[in-house]
Chains A and B, each alone.
Chain A
Amino acid sequence: MTLKGYKDLPEGGVITEKGNSALYKTGEWRSMRPNYYPEGCVHCLICWVFCPDSAIKVENGKMLGIDYDHCKGCGICARECPRKEKALQMVKE
């Protein structure tokens, strides 16, 4: 992302767009990422329960994967995954 220079910013750091927090991808902060291996997943949704950032995508009771725009890579999902062969494993970004 190209950052704007000071002459192109609204004065005083005022935000002039409505609802633009949606544009801010906090997942950019991540240094580790959880990789999802659906073959080992039993859809217990414990990862969804524990994720502090609502970054586990779930539809109709099924785990679909990770919302990498907002996942900050804390690793709680991988730690809590109860499978012996973890369906979520942390790797370096």
Chain B
Amino acid sequence: MALEIKQVAMTGNEAVANAIKQINPDVIAAYPITPQTDIVQFYSTFVANGLVDTQMVTVESEHSAISATIGASAAGARAMTATSSQGLALMHELLHIASGFRLPIAMPVVNRAVSAPINIHCDHSDTMAALTTGWIQIYGENAQEAYDNMIQAVKIAEDPRVKLPVMVCYDGFITSHAVENLVLLPDEKVKEFVGEYKPTHELFDFDSPVTFGPLVLPDYFSEIKAQQAEAMLAAKEVILEVAKEFEKMSGRKYGYFEGYKLEDAERVIVVMSSTAGTAKAVVNELRAQGEKVGLLKPRVIRPFPAEEYVKALSGAKVVGVMDRAETFSTQGGQLFTELRAAFYEAPERPLMRNYIFGLGGRDTTTAEIRKVFEQLKQDQERGSVDRKVTHLDVRV
């Protein structure tokens, strides 16, 4: 039977709030921060209208929001919260605790620049600063992907081989607040897909009491971290399994990344999230002129599927990696350095250069993407890159 398709016009945040409604978690801790706020605002109306069974806890900060979520999750509940920017930064110490406790919390993070200067618009400096916290990170290009990723994230996080928290990332305002056409799944399909949450250990299981968070000294600390690393490795497999199952239900295909006209592409842009949509338009334009250009849009960067990225880019002559956050290493953005490192053992390495772009919501239009492709072409002709790291569209 064909799936009952519900075409809607929604913002990314409304779509994600609807995904969470369909998941119907036991507990949500809510604290507002732009541009995340209307996820929990939409959700509070679902709660008030009796559409969900969720216990909604309003707290006094993001530090408290993730603390309440961790507490509820350790107690055995399916628990969630959502955040952006400074909120994620304020959560930072607890992010390590959620992953260290192996709590499968799925959390939307609506990407926004971290202050200072204060700015409410999109870049990826918030989630990039959380790459080493032991959370899985999945990025979506548009409202549909944010919705789909939210549903998949729950199943990935709660898989017994994984039991790790997941950040579901998408671009602030561009995706979170723009109204798009998307397709919602029927409630019962989502319910069936995510299934019932079965915690490994729960504080509210009084027949077999457990202690979360005991002191672990040098004799065991490394072993606990090795468990987390192994779970992250297992997540690689689980992410693909869940994607396959999701495709069976929805017809929409997901993997570690999306390759767009990559097959014979000589010049490739690597860019995540909403800018990938802009880049696709330019790829189409240049392809129509016979240019061999393509796009790789990373979806999963924790775990970092290095071999798969290398394989996908192995045919390219020049790769322009676009990072929407600074690292201040002076050696380029996070995606760039990790992708370059991934190529260390590869027999054939393309030329690679880095663009730091779109900081604090600076518009990155087809004109900028076209400029990047032009520079990649010059690099290819020259046989070398003229500049390793470029701040795109920055006035001197």
Using a CB–CB cutoff of 8 Å, the interface residues on chain A facing chain B are 3-6, 9-16, 18
Contact = CB atoms under 8 A, between A and B. Distances in A.
B131 interface: no
Interface stretch (B139-147, B223-231, B366-374): B223-231
A86 B92 CA distance: 54
Interface band, chain B:
20 to 34
B101 interface: yes
Contacts of B216: 13
Given A11-B102, A12-B102, A14-B201, A5 B223 contact: yes
B212 interface: yes
B209 interface: yes
A12 B224 contact: yes
A18 B102 contact: no
A6 B224 contact: yes
A5 B226 CA distance: 10
B200 interface: yes
Q: Which of A3, A6, A9, A12 has the most CB of B within 10 A?
A: A12
B214 A3 contact: no
B201 A6 contact: no
Shortest 6 CB-CB contacts between residues of A and residues of B: A12-B102, A6-B223, A15-B211, A6-B226, A13-B224, A11-B102
A10 B230 contact: no
B219 interface: yes
B219 A3 contact: yes
B201 A3 contact: no
Contacts of A10: 201
Contacts of B222: 6
Contacts of A13: 100, 213-214, 216, 220, 224
B59 to A, nearest CB: 23
A5 B220 CA distance: 9
Given A16-B201, A18-B209, A11 B220 contact: no
Nearest to B223: A6
B212 A14 contact: yes
A11 B219 contact: no
B51 interface: no
B208 A12 contact: no
Nearest to A5: B223
Contact of B223 (A4, A15, A16, A18): A4
A15 B214 contact: yes
18 contacts: A3-B219, A4-B223, A6-B222, A6-B223, A9-B223, A11-B163, A11-B200, A11-B201, A11-B231, A12-B102, A12-B103, A12-B163, A12-B201, A14-B101, A14-B201, A16-B201, A16-B208, A16-B210
Nearest to A3: B219
Contacts of A14: 101, 200-201, 210-212
A12 B209 contact: no
